[in-house]
Structure 1
Amino acid sequence: MDVMERAARIEAEGGHVIHMEVGQPAAPAPDSAREAARRALDHGRIGYTTALGLPSLRARIARHYGDSYGVDLDPARVVVTTGSSAGFILAFLAMFEPGDRVAIANPGYPPYRHILTALGCEPVLIETDAASRWVITPEALADAHRQAPLKGVLVASPANPTGTMMRPEALAELVATAEALGIRFISDEIYHGLDYAFPATTAAALSANATIINSFSKYFCMTGWRVGWMVMPAPLVRAAERLQQNLTISVPTLSQIAAEAAFDGAAQMEAVKHGYEENRLILTQALPRAGLPEFLPVDGAFYLYADISRFTDDSAAFARRLLDEAHVATTPGVDFDPHRGHHYLRLSYAGALEEMREAVARIGAFLARG
C-alpha cells in the first residue's frame, strides 16, 4: 500500500508508472457477470440473502468442483463469503481458540499471520526452501507439532508471493500427515485456474475434513466485488453460518448474483489467463538477461518472486529506488517474509503485455546504472 501511494504521487506529477505491486487483474469481470448485475439492478430491490449465500450460487460452486476436479460436492458444505478475506476470518473463528498455534509457510501472504494474531492465535512460520520447491513438507509440519502442538495448518497452491505450486503427491502427503496428527487443514485455492506448469489439485479431492477457501477475485477478475467461498467439513458449516449472521448478516446480494453468472464467462477468462501466460514467458525469459536471473518456480498465479540479494540486503529501499528512478512499482519481500524477505522482490504480471516488455527494459536499465 505504501508503494501504491508513492506511485500515485509520481503519476499525479505526470510520470508513467508500470504497476507490478498489486495482485489485481487488469481485465474486468466477465461480461456474463456484469450483465447479470445490470439485470438485477433493473429488476429493483436488492435485499439480504441467507447467511450461507444464495442457494443457486452454492449449487453452482458445488457443480464447479465436479466439472473442474471430478469431486462430487454437497452444496450444503459451501459457504459464500465476502471475498477470501472474510473466509479466513470465519474459518479461523470456527476452528480455533485464542492461544492455538497455526502453521503457515514462510514466505507467505501477510494477512494469514496478521488475522491469526488479531484473533489471539499464534502463527507458526515454517521455513521453506528450494529443496522442497518452497512448500511445507510433512516432516517440517511434524517437527513443528512436536515442538508444541499445532491446531491447524494453512497452505496455498499456487502461492502468494512465490507463484509456486504443490505437486499433487506433495499435497496429498501433507493432508494425510495433518489428519494423522489431528491438525486441521486449510487450503487457500484463490489462484486455482491460474496454473501453468501443471494442473492444480484441490484439497477437497483428498479429504472431506479439509477446509477450502477460494474467491472470484483472481481467475474471474472480480476483486472489487468482494465475493468468495469456502468448502467446509459438514460439522463446521453451522458455526460458520452463525458467525456470518452476526458479523455481516450476508454477503452483498448483487455480488453473489454476478458471481453465479461469472461461471458462464469461462471462455473469456481463459483468454485472460492466456495473457498471463504470455506475460510469464516474457518475464522468465527476459529478466535473466536484464540482470535478475534467480527467482522461485513460476508455476501459477501471476507472481514472480525474484532474488535481489546480489544488489541489496534491503528490499524495501530497493523497491523505492526502482519506483523513483525507473517508475516500476514492485512489492518488497519483507511484506511476505520477516526473516529473508529483505533479499526478495515480488513482481505481479497481471498487467498488459506491452507493459511487461517495458517493465523488463526499465528494470534492465536501472540495474545497469547500479
Structure 2
Amino acid sequence: MQVMGAARRREEAGHEILHLEVGQPSTSAPAAVIAAAHAALENDRLGYTGALGLPELRDRISRWYRDRYGLLIPADRIAVTTGASGSCVLSFLALWDPGANVGVIEPGYPCYRNDLEAFGINVVRIPVDAATGFRPTTADLDAAGPLDGLVLASPNNPTGTVLSQQHLAPLLKWCAAGGTQVIVDEIYHGLVFDQPAPSALEFDQEVLVFNSFSKYFSMTGWRLGWVVAPEALVPAIERLAQNLTIAPPTLSQLAGLAAFDSLEECEANVGRYRRNRDSLLGALRQSGFSDIAPADGAFYVWVDISHTGKTASALCKEWLETLNLAVTPGIDFDRERGESFVRLSIAGSEHDIVEAGERIKAWAAKDTAAAGSNEAR
C-alpha cells in the first residue's frame, strides 16, 4: 500500500508510472459480465440474496467443479462470499478459536497472517525457499510442531508456485492424520502456464477451498468469491455471513453468472500473462537477476535481489524515483526474509511489461558501470 501511495503521488506530480506492484488484471470484466450487469440494473430489484448467495450461482459454481475438475460438489456446500477476502474471514472464524495454532507459508499472502492475528489465532510461520521451489514439505510441517490448522495456496502469491499432486497430496495426508484442518486458497486457478493445478478437493473432501471471480475472470472490484466447505461447517459459515455481511453483492452475483460463459476471453488473458512472464523473466536474467521463483502460475514474479547489496524497500524506492517503475518489496510477504526479494506483477499490458524490462536492463547496465567505476578508484 505504501508503494501504491508513493506511485500515486508521483503520478499526481506528472510522472507516468508503470504499475507492476498491483495484483489485479489490467483488463475489465468479460463483455458478457458487463452486459449482464446492465440488464440486472434495468430489470432486477437488486435486493438482498440469501447469506450464502443466489441458488443459481451456487449451482453454476457446482457445475464449474464438475466441468473443470470432474468433481461432484453439491451446491449446498458452496458459500458465495464478498471476494476471497470474505472467504478468509468467514472460514477462519468458523474453524478456529483464539489461541489455535495455524500454520502459514512464508513467503505468502500477508492477509492470511494479518486476519488470523486479528482474530487472536497464533500464526505459526512455515518458511520455504528455493531449495524446494518454494513448496512446503511434510518435513516443514513436522518442524512446525502440532498444528490446529494450515493455510496453503496454489498457485501461490507471491511466488507463483503450483502444488501438483505429488506435492499437495502428501501435505493433505499429513494434516488428515493429525487432525489439522486445511484451507487451500485456489484464487489463481486458471492462471497456470507450465503444469495443471489440481484442486485440493480432488484429494480430500474435508478441506476448505477458496476461489474468486477476481483474477481469472478479471472482476477484482466486483468483490465476488466463494468457499467450498465440508457440509458440517456450512451452517456456521452461514450464521457468520448473516451477521457480518448479510449477503454478497447482488449485482455482482447476477453478473457473475455470465463469467462462466466467457472462457475464451479469460484464456486470452492467460496467454498474455504467459507472454508477459516470459518477457519479464528474460529481461530480469539479462539484468543479473538469476534467482527467481518458478512463476508457474498466478501473475507474479518473485525475485531474489540480495546480490544488489540493497534492501527491497530501498530498491523499490530507487526504481520508483529513477525508473518510474512501481514494484512491491518482499517484506509484505515474508517478515523475516522479505527485504531480499521483490514481487513484480505481470498482469499489465504487453507494452508495459516490455517497457518495464527495458528500464530494468538500462538500470542494471548503469548500476554495473557505476560499480566498476568505484572499484577502479
How does the TM-score come out when normalised to structure 1?
0.98
* Counterpart position of 2:115: 115
Give me the whole-angstrom Cα distance separating, in 2, the residues matched to 1:270 and 1:120. Answer: 40
Give me the whole-angstrom Cα distance separating, in 2, the residues matched to 1:289 and 1:129. Answer: 23
Give me the whole-angstrom Cα distance separating, in 1, the residues matched to 2:313 and 2:101. Answer: 29
Give me the whole-angstrom Cα distance separating, in 2, the residues matched to 1:303 and 1:11. Answer: 23
What's the CA shift for 1:313? 4.1
Give secondary structure in 1 for the equivalent of 2:41: helix
Give secondary structure in 2 for the equivalent of 1:214: strand
**CA deviation vs aligned residue, 1:277-299 (integer Å, no higher than 9, x gap):** 11011012221112322211110
Instruction: Describe how 1:163-312 pairs up with structure 2 within 5 A.
Output: 163-312=160-309
How does the TM-score come out when normalised to structure 2?
0.96
**CA deviation vs aligned residue, 1:54-84 (integer Å, no higher than 9, x gap):** 0000010011011111111111100000000
Contact 2:125 2:144 in 1 (8 A): no
Q: Does 1:130 align with 2:127?
A: no
Contact 1:92 1:116 in 2 (8 A): yes
Instruction: Describe how 1:54-133 pairs up with structure 2 within 5 A.
Output: 54-133=54-133
Give secondary structure in 2 for the equivalent of 1:155: strand
Contact 1:87 1:230 in 2 (8 A): yes
Give me the whole-angstrom Cα distance separating, in 2, the residues matched to 1:3 and 1:41. Answer: 36
Instruction: Mark the runs of 5 or more structure 2 residues left unpaired by the alignment.
Output: 368-377
- Higher mean alpha-carbon deviation, 23-32 vs 311-320, is at 311-320
Instruction: Mark the runs of 5 or more structure 1 residues left unpaired by the alignment.
Output: none
* Counterpart position of 1:338: 335
Residue in structure 2 matching 1:348, options 345, 348, 370: 345
Contact 1:312 1:318 in 2 (8 A): no
Q: Does 1:45 align with 2:45?
A: yes
What code does the residue aligned with 1:49 have? T
Give me the whole-angstrom Cα distance separating, in 2, the residues matched to 1:150 and 1:266. Answer: 39
Contact 1:37 1:254 in 2 (8 A): yes
Give me the whole-angstrom Cα distance separating, in 1, the residues matched to 2:310 and 2:120. Answer: 32
What code does the residue aligned with 1:105 have? I
- Higher mean alpha-carbon deviation, 233-242 vs 2-11, is at 2-11
What code does the residue aligned with 2:219 have? M
What's the CA shift for 1:44? 4.1
Give secondary structure in 2 for the equivalent of 1:310: helix
Contact 1:312 1:343 in 2 (8 A): no
Give me the whole-angstrom Cα distance separating, in 1, the residues matched to 2:89 and 2:61. Answer: 20
Give me the whole-angstrom Cα distance separating, in 2, the residues matched to 1:60 and 1:142. Answer: 39
Q: Does 1:162 align with 2:162?
A: no
What code does the residue aligned with 1:316 have? S
Contact 2:283 2:361 in 1 (8 A): no
Give me the whole-angstrom Cα distance separating, in 2, the residues matched to 1:140 and 1:293. Answer: 25
Q: Does 1:314 align with 2:323?
A: no
* Counterpart position of 2:373: none
